[in-house]
Amino acid sequence: MAAPSMGGVSLPRGNGQTVRLPRGASLTDLAERINAQPAALVTALFHLGEMVTATQSVNDETLQLLGAEIGWVIQVVSPEDEDRELLETFDLTFGDEEGDEEDWSSRPPVVTVMGHVDHGKTKLLDAIRDANVVAREAGGITQHIGAYQVVTELEGLERPITFIDTPGHESFTAMRARGAKVTDIVVLVVAADDGVMPQTVEALNHAQAADVPIVVAVNKVDKEGANPAKIRQQLTEYGLVAEEYGGETMFVDVSAITRQGIDDLLAAILLTADASLDLRANTEQDPQGVVIEGKLDKGRGPVATVLVQRGTLRQGDSIVAGDAYGRVRSLLDEHGNKLKEALPARPVQVVGLTSVPRAGDTFLVVEEDRVARQIADRRQARIRNAQNASMRKRISLEDLDAALKETRQLNLIIKGDNSGTVEALEEALMKIEVDDEIALRVIHRGVGGITKSDIDLALADDVIVLGFNVRAEGQATELANREGVDVRYYTVIYQAIDEIEAALKGMLKPIYEEIQLGTAEVREVFRVPKIGNVAGSLVRSGTIVRNSKARLIRDGAVVADNLSVESLRRFKDDATEVREGYECGIGLGSFNDIKVDDVIETFEMREKPRD
């Protein structure tokens, strides 16, 4: 079959062969894999009605459509798929409990605290930490290691609860987006003197999307003007109906300052876990879990706080956590005590890794150090590749100029916490006047967090996404990071205006001015084999600089422009520059029409700052 010819460039036909591409690949990536010219693929796609640049990330369907057109089956692989396949090559899987459910042991619930800014998440986590009966006995000082476990008494039984100590739903959703389901129960903190706020709603949306039960902590009940009943009533609108009103959600009035209600809150967490979750884990299998936090400790090297999800983690285990690996040298709890082993739902600091893993990375214990290292190496390579790819694709405020050369248009997506601010921001932005050359276009606007579909839109069109008082959802953040989409957050309008104005200014085509460098008079013309004619010249003014631009003047008229000083010699030696009054040999590349008495004028183009 003849190769299809698009715009005069032929494309290699795949004849039904399969080519694998990472999600979000560009036409350049595809071109590399199938040995084609990126430009030919751009043209081919253009004929199919899609206009993209060679380095822009292309969505799955478009890649497949293009593939079908040129005879390739394109298999788009997500990073998660890739990792799953990587583990499979070592006969490993992450995430599944092994064995018979009957043999599993019950495990403590893992809780994340979420809520609006300043509603008291941090204070509440502190108060809970101090309520720990075991710590109280030990009189120990707890350290912040990203997660901790407290033991509380319920109906005469001592029962542990694990708290993720990084409040806020960013880490919650970031972990969820990376496939690490960590949280069993969300404690939604609402300040009784303030009520339900945008981030309260956001947090509860995240929890509901993840199908995680919620316990509401109505905080700051010690404050004057606290109205806990109003919180209960407000939240019914969002499907959280208090038990006392006939619903299923437990509401507990607390004060993180006076510690009122903390024990009730812990009890409510356990009761909710018992009522709606059957939390069990296999303690016998190879341990697996999630990295909660990683840091580099001066004395101990890389330290990761991990949460064991199944199996029992022990000192001496060979572990791979994200792209870090190593042998577990020691296990420490949140009081700094050494542990021999860590059971499911136990947060524990692991010392002994070769590098610092990222929060949300999964960890696995493997049979041999060698396997851990190989997995880590492969992951490192993949991260590097992805970074390189996104560097290529990245369009940011800083280097928009190159990316938007043709269109000279800055596209924006504006998301905000309410329609008033979104409109106000758009209006203010549209008033920015920089230059007629450049257009500012808002291609999408809306109320709410930045979603994956916003990022998809941004990808298709080289866009900057502005979040005004809102954040990107986990999946959106992940996609934006992976694809290098520029997402900016603002809380004040003028700051957004300043930055966008600066971006637009940066997009202006630079103005260049010609700077004279020097002139030389041709005294003699030498014919040099392989090089061509060389002008034996005397520098009349300034300096002749190698590689500078040049024009040739004969009898006062410009004979040739667009030349450059391709070779410059003083006697037999190469020179980078030759000053006024000296003789030199100047070669003008393939330009050979040089005559005695011609004048070579040299100059450079320098960017002129705009005011």
Q: Residue from 37, 255, 519, 537 that binds ligand GTP (CB under 6 A)?
A: 255
Q: Is 222 annotated as a binding residue?
A: yes
Separation in Å, CA 25 to CA 9, 34, 150, 400, 484: 22, 13, 46, 20, 12
| Shortest CB 126 distance to ligand GTP, Å | 8
- Give the HSE-up count for residue 256: Cα atoms under 13 Å, Cβ half-sphere: 21
Report whether 413 contacts 476 (CB < 8 A). Answer: no
| Shortest CB 168 distance to ligand GTP, Å | 6
Backbone angles phi, psi at 403, to 5 degrees: -65, -30
| Shortest CB 266 distance to ligand GTP, Å | 16
Nearer of residues 255 and 519 to ligand GTP, judged by Cβ: 255
223 binds ligand GTP (CB under 6 A): yes
Nearer of residues 467 and 587 to ligand GTP, judged by Cβ: 467
Q: Is 220 annotated as a binding residue?
A: yes
Residue nearest to ligand GTP (CB): 120
Cα angle 521, 527, 529 (rounded to 5 degrees) comes to: 140
Amino acid residing at 65: L
| Shortest CB 206 distance to ligand GTP, Å | 15
Q: Residue from 109, 146, 167, 360 that binds ligand GTP (CB under 6 A)?
A: 167
Q: Is 152 annotated as a binding residue?
A: no
Strand residues in 214-337 grouped as ranges (E): 214-219, 250-253, 280-281, 288-297, 301-310, 313-314, 318-321, 324-332
Cα angle 596, 598, 604 (rounded to 5 degrees) comes to: 140
Site pattern 124..163 for ligand GTP (x: CB under 6 A): ----------------------------------------
Nearest to 587 by CA among 544, 529, 535, 550: 535
Nearer of residues 167 and 311 to ligand GTP, judged by Cβ: 167
Q: Is 47 annotated as a binding residue?
A: no
Nearer of residues 116 and 310 to ligand GTP, judged by Cβ: 116
Q: Report the C-alpha dihedral over residues 480, 481, 486, 487, rounded to 10 degrees.
A: 70
| Shortest CB 254 distance to ligand GTP, Å | 7
411 binds ligand GTP (CB under 6 A): no
Nearer of residues 36 and 124 to ligand GTP, judged by Cβ: 124
Give the binding range for ligand GTP (CB under 6 A) out of 34-42, 249-257, 309-317, 580-588: 249-257
Nearer of residues 212 and 256 to ligand GTP, judged by Cβ: 256
| Shortest CB 289 distance to ligand GTP, Å | 26
Q: Is 121 annotated as a binding residue?
A: yes
Backbone angles phi, psi at 112, to 5 degrees: -115, 135
Q: Is 167 annotated as a binding residue?
A: yes
# binding residues, ligand GTP (CB under 6 A): 16
Nearest to 174 by CA among 48, 37, 293: 293
For residue 68, the surrounding DSSP H or E stretch is helix 60-69
Give the binding range for ligand GTP (CB under 6 A) out of 250-258, 425-433, 497-505, 528-536: 250-258
Give 491's DSSP letter. S
Q: Is 169 annotated as a binding residue?
A: yes
257 binds ligand GTP (CB under 6 A): yes
For residue 579, the surrounding DSSP H or E stretch is strand 577-579
Separation in Å, CA 28 to CA 53, 392, 400, 585: 9, 10, 19, 43
| Shortest CB 186 distance to ligand GTP, Å | 14
| Shortest CB 116 distance to ligand GTP, Å | 7
Give the span between the Cα atoms of 111 and 449, in whole angstroms.
23
Q: Residue from 60, 82, 222, 369 that binds ligand GTP (CB under 6 A)?
A: 222
Q: Is 589 annotated as a binding residue?
A: no
For residue 110, the surrounding DSSP H or E stretch is strand 110-115
Interface of this chain with ligand GTP, residues 109 to 128, rule: CB under 6 A:
115, 117-123
**CB within 8 Å of 535: residues ≥ 6 apart:** 520, 522, 524, 525, 585, 586, 587, 588, 594, 598, 600
Nearest to 136 by CA among 263, 274, 222: 263
Q: Is 122 annotated as a binding residue?
A: yes
| Shortest CB 125 distance to ligand GTP, Å | 8
Cα angle 230, 236, 238 (rounded to 5 degrees) comes to: 120
Nearer of residues 121 and 546 to ligand GTP, judged by Cβ: 121
Q: Residue from 178, 220, 379, 471 that binds ligand GTP (CB under 6 A)?
A: 220
For residue 267, the surrounding DSSP H or E stretch is helix 262-276
Strand residues in 157-265 grouped as ranges (E): 157-164, 185-191, 214-219, 250-253
Q: Is 518 annotated as a binding residue?
A: no
**CB within 8 Å of 86: residues ≥ 6 apart:** 375, 378, 379
Q: Is 119 annotated as a binding residue?
A: yes
| Shortest CB 390 distance to ligand GTP, Å | 30
Give the span between the Cα atoms of 81 and 603, in whole angstroms.
56
Nearer of residues 72 and 172 to ligand GTP, judged by Cβ: 172
Q: Is 115 annotated as a binding residue?
A: yes
216 binds ligand GTP (CB under 6 A): no
Nearer of residues 204 and 535 to ligand GTP, judged by Cβ: 204
Give the binding range for ligand GTP (CB under 6 A) out of 24-32, 80-88, 254-262, 448-456: 254-262
Strand residues in 116-184 grouped as ranges (E): 147-154, 157-164
Q: Is 118 annotated as a binding residue?
A: yes
| Shortest CB 201 distance to ligand GTP, Å | 15
| Shortest CB 293 distance to ligand GTP, Å | 16
Q: In the numeric block, which tokens belong to residue 295?
A: 């840091």
The alpha-carbon radius of gyration of the chain (Å, integer) is 33
256 binds ligand GTP (CB under 6 A): yes
Nearer of residues 200 and 309 to ligand GTP, judged by Cβ: 200
- Binding site residue list for GTP: 115-122, 165-169, 219-222
Binding site for ligand GTP (CB under 6 A): 115, 117-123, 167, 219-220, 222-223, 255-257
- Binding site residue list: 115-122, 165-169, 219-222
